[in-house]
Amino acid sequence: SQQGEEDPQALSIQEGENATMNCSYKTSINNLQWYRQNSGRGLVHLILIRSNEREKHSGRLRVTLDTSKKSSSLLITASRAADTASYFCATDETGNQFYFGTGTSLTVIP
Amino acid sequence: DVKVTQSSRYLVKRTGEKVFLECVQDMDHENMFWYRQDPGLGLRLIYFSYDVKMKEKGDIPEGYSVSREKKERFSLILESASTNQTSMYLCASSPPRGTQYFGPGTRLLVL
């Protein structure tokens, strides 16, 4: 089974700065999704990007996908303390089953 | 809004006990999933179901079973709990090939 790998494992920035985290995966995919998890809670879906898309925006989030490099990045602009969370990418093989990485832990310092 | 609920937020059980974790979704989703989450290992899929009475093994099904008698409900069963099953258990539902919606999680401690 394939799995997304996020990089870095941990990231600490000042409020107002941009945060970038990356995801690499191993085989061809249909979709890639990014999720956020606040401490001790379930995951919340942020954004889905399809394999034929290169870039997608949602509010302060920007996701890119490079299928030739099998990688994706999530950019959070003008970060806030409330953005402190773990961020996971999830990739699919069969379409019904997604594989999650180990996550990037983001800390935004007020 | 999609709502996925899990029967307990915290659970403490003894080794050898039979444990039931229940998950209910209200969006008529075909797919339902059970994951466990451990530090440094991310989310690992235990079982998923794409229809009533249908189930597929995920990456780590050993020591677990599941039941899906109704579309909205997906149960995870630990037949004989062991200490290495202490973990955070997350349930999710989705339409086919769609976004997964997660419950709040159940933190299980097996003593």
pLDDT tens by residue, A2-15: 567 888 999 999 99
State residue B16's pLDDT score.
Answer: 97
Residue among A43, A95, A98 whose CB faces B90 most closely: A43
- Interchain pair B105, A41: CB under 8 A: yes
Among residues A30, A47, A41, which one has the least CA distance to residue A96? A30
Verify whether the Cβ–Cβ distance B42 to A45 is below 8 Å: no
Phi-psi region of B97 (alpha: psi -120 to 50; beta: other; left: phi over 0): left
Residue B35, H or E segment: strand B31-38
pLDDT grade, residue A29 (50/70/90)? confident
List chain B residues with pLDDT less than 50: none
User: What is the per-residue pLDDT across A39-90, written as a single tens digit (0 to 9) for each?
Assistant: 888 899 999 999 999 999 999 999 999 999 999 999 999 999 999 999 999 9
B100 and A90 in contact by Cβ < 8 A? yes
* Probe site for chain B from A2, A3, A45 (most B CB atoms < 10 A): A45
Contacts of B84 (CB under 8 A, 6+ apart): none
